[in-house]
């Protein structure tokens, strides 16, 4: 038999079986890479909805943006919280005349900028990087708060290439989420980084049935 599933969903399956979401009844994974994917696990099974279209959390609309998503919509989480979104916003700020060490770190070529460079510049307190990453985190917190208001998960796990900057992403993220959840004085989901790395997709796919 052959089985197929969305890449972010199989990564979530792996994290639920062996990783950061193990033994949790309700768990959500965000995969932050070139785009934004996600998986929802309920009672150890992936939730894909009535028509198999659920868990496309990267395309939840969280605000108006200055460019459209590849899907054609405006305001998708993917256009705020992906590596692509980070790069585009840092480039936008510099094209508007803001000086930044990011350009030096990219060997003077604005097209060489990647998300790692922006996070590294953030750690150096570069103004463009700080604005870019704070914007990224604020929108990620809004998306997580909406998920908490809807599903009240045990845990939210962050995977994908962007999660390598976990020291920056996890710092104060719960405080930002708390500003946006409905029940501000109640405990809510743990927010962690995935721990199976690039192997998560392969591991999860092996357990499809």
pLDDT for 97-135, tens place per residue? 999 999 999 999 999 999 999 999 999 999 999 999 999
**CA 17 from centre of chain:** 20
- Stretches in the chain below the pLDDT threshold 50: none
Q: Where are the domains of the chain?
A: 7-206
Look at residue 201 in the predicted model and tell me its pLDDT: 94
Calpha distance 95→128 (Å, rounded): 11
* Contact present, 55 and 49 (Cβ < 8 Å): yes
Instruction: Quote the radius of gyration of the chain (alpha carbons, Å).
Output: 17
* Contact present, 9 and 55 (Cβ < 8 Å): yes
Torsion over CA: 45, 146, 149, 119 (sign): positive
Of the CA atoms within 13 Å of residue 165, those in its CB half-sphere come to: 24
Look at residue 171 in the predicted model and tell me its pLDDT: 97
User: Taking Cα atoms as reference points, which of 186, 185, 192 lies closest to residue 144?
Assistant: 192
Calpha distance 4→183 (Å, rounded): 38
Look at residue 209 in the predicted model and tell me its pLDDT: 83
CATH number given to 7-206: 3.30.420.40
């Amino acid at each position: 038999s052959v089985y197929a599933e969305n890449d972010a969903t199989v990564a979530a399956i792996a994290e639920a079986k062996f990783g950061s979401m193990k033994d949790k009844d309700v768990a959500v994974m965000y995969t932050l890479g070139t785009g934004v994917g996600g998986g929802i696990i309920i009672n150890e099974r992936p939730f894909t909805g009535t028509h198999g279209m659920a868990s496309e959390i990267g395309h939840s609309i969280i605000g108006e943006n200055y460019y459209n998503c590849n899907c054609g919509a405006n305001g998708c989480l993917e256009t705020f919280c992906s590596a692509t979104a980070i790069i585009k916003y840092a480039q936008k700020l510099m094209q508007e005349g803001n000086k930044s060490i990011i350009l030096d770190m990219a060997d003077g070529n604005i097209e060489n900028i990647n998300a790692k460079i922006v996070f590294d510049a953030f750690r150096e307190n570069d103004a463009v990087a700080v604005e870019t990453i704070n914007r990224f985190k604020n929108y990620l917190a809004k998306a997580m708060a909406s998920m908490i208001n809807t599903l009240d998960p045990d845990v939210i796990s962050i995977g994908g290439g962007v999660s390598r900057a976990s020291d920056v992403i996890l710092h104060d993220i719960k405080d930002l989420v708390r500003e946006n959840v409905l029940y501000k004085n109640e405990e809510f989901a743990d927010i962690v980084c995935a721990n199976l790395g690039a192997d998560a997709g392969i591991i999860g796919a092996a357990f499809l049935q």
